[in-house]
Amino acid sequence: MIWQFDIIILIFMVVAALIALRVKDLLGATLVFGIYSFLICLLWAGMGAVDVAFTEAAVGAGVSTVIMIATVFSTARRSKD
């Protein structure tokens, strides 16, 4: 674990979380969630938890993004609030 690397990833994670909350376009918010998952996957890989990182990359960033995109396309693309 390199702390400079960690700080950068953590800052990016906070930024990604804020963007996902602020963006009105739900498709964009979904993609930002994918970025968030990849960042947390990098953190886990850095800590040596490779299995968890692998699962996060496959499930968190891969499948759940696709499933949320599918849901966004069959509901509304723009957030009301």
Partner 1 sequence: MKLFGFIAVFIVGSVLLVMTMDFPGWGDTSSPASQGQVSSFYIEETINETKVPNMVTAVLADFRGYDTMFETVVIFIAGIGIIAVLRTFSDHSSPAPDEPEEDNEGGDLIIRSTCHLVVPLIQLFALYVVAHGHHSPGGGFQGGVMLGTSYILFALACGLPAAKKRMGERRAIIIAAVGIIIYAGWGVACLLFGGNFLDYSSLDPLLPGDAQMARSHSMLAVEIGVAFTVTAIMFAIYSNLATRGRLEKGL
Q: Is the dihedral of CA 18, 21, 24, 26 positive or negative?
A: positive
Residue 74 binds partner 1, judged by CB under 8 A: yes
Q: How far is the CB of 71 from partner 1 (least distance, A)?
A: 5
Cα distances (angstroms) measured from residue 22 to each of 26, 39, 49, 55, 78: 10, 19, 31, 27, 12
Q: How far is the CB of 52 from partner 1 (least distance, A)?
A: 8
Residues that bind partner 1 (CB under 8 A): 1, 47, 50-51, 53-55, 58-59, 62-63, 66-67, 69-71, 73-74
